[in-house]
Amino acid sequence: MSDILIIGTVALDTIETPFGKVENALGGSATYASFAASFFSKPALISVVGNDFPREYIELLKKRNIDLDGLKIIGKTFHWEGFYEYDMNEAKTKKTELNSLEHFKVEVPERYKNIKYVFLANIDPEQQLETLRQMSKPDFVVIDTMNFWINNKKKALIDVIKKIDVLLLNDGEARQLFNTVNLVKAANEALNLGPKAVIIKKGEHGALLFTKNKHFSAPSYPLENIKDPTGCGDSFGGGFIGYLAKTNDLSERSFRKAIVYGSVVASHNAEDFSLNRLRDLTMNDIEKRYKEFQDIREF
């Protein structure tokens, strides 16, 4: 039985960074998130791909024991084209082709409806809301989003934020969504909408956790070999919720550890294009870097 439900995109990405280029590579928020979560827990995925989606990509997800009964095959796969300049913290979108995602009707399979942990990874906020509507009564819901949805579906996005437990955003998105340059103000505005916690991801500079009375700043990892940061936000989210589902401990202390596990998986992800690093990653690699994170923070 799966212990995390993840809805998001499964994509074919065309990406250019200062270190190379890939075309129609495996990507998507749900892909990265479920892959990352699978190191800790057993994710089930809801998404849609087209008939053009390579079989080998499906096999790769299956090999990590990701439950794909909620993956529909209709029309043409969602395609994202982006690039990074020397500031690798900011993805620039060239093209977003929603394709089969545009008319995708969420149908949560019956046996997923009682899953307790839900990750609403980056996708249309109306599809995120519909997923929650069909679930029985999840214990813990995390949401992620991006500028595309803040620009196009802000009202639906605010509606869904009111119903969840943890909001994940990167710094640029937090400023955009709450109309302020100050991240503390943005986090407080977010908390006023209802979530118990807000996590602001700052790319290679770590992540900030805000709850009602506490604040935690997770270190970043001094990564020398960065090739492609695509999917780091999603792998962070997947690692975060994966660790929480595994331990079933939702204390603030456990959130802090989960943030570091999320950062560990995300930092590995940046070392290569697409899922190329995550597909060979082992739990040993993860634990080793987790210890290095602990050392970085010691003073």
Binding site for ligand AMP (CB under 6 A): 9, 11, 13, 27-29, 32, 80, 91, 96, 122-123, 146, 148, 230-234
149 Cβ contact partners less than 8 Å away, ≥ 6 residues apart: 122, 124, 125, 157
In whole angstroms, the minimum distance from the beta carbon of 40 to ligand AMP comes to 18
Quote the tokens at residue 76. 């043409």
In whole angstroms, the minimum distance from the beta carbon of 22 to ligand AMP comes to 11
**Complex with ligand AMP: residue 93 or 114, whichever CB lies closer:** 93
**Complex with ligand AMP: residue 72 or 116, whichever CB lies closer:** 72
**Complex with ligand AMP: residue 87 or 298, whichever CB lies closer:** 87
**Complex with ligand AMP: residue 151 or 192, whichever CB lies closer:** 151
CA 142 remoteness from chain centre: 9
Do strands 4-7 and 67-73 pair parallel, antiparallel, or not at all (unpaired)? unpaired
In whole angstroms, the minimum distance from the beta carbon of 114 to ligand AMP comes to 26
In whole angstroms, the minimum distance from the beta carbon of 28 to ligand AMP comes to 4
**Complex with ligand AMP: residue 98 or 250, whichever CB lies closer:** 98
**Complex with ligand AMP: residue 206 or 233, whichever CB lies closer:** 233
In whole angstroms, the minimum distance from the beta carbon of 194 to ligand AMP comes to 23
Report the residue number whose CB is nearest to ligand AMP.
27
Beta bridge partners of 7: 46, 120
**Complex with ligand AMP: residue 20 or 288, whichever CB lies closer:** 20
40 Cβ contact partners less than 8 Å away, ≥ 6 residues apart: 239, 242, 243, 245, 246, 261
Beta bridge partners of 82: 15, 93
In whole angstroms, the minimum distance from the beta carbon of 157 to ligand AMP comes to 12
In whole angstroms, the minimum distance from the beta carbon of 153 to ligand AMP comes to 10
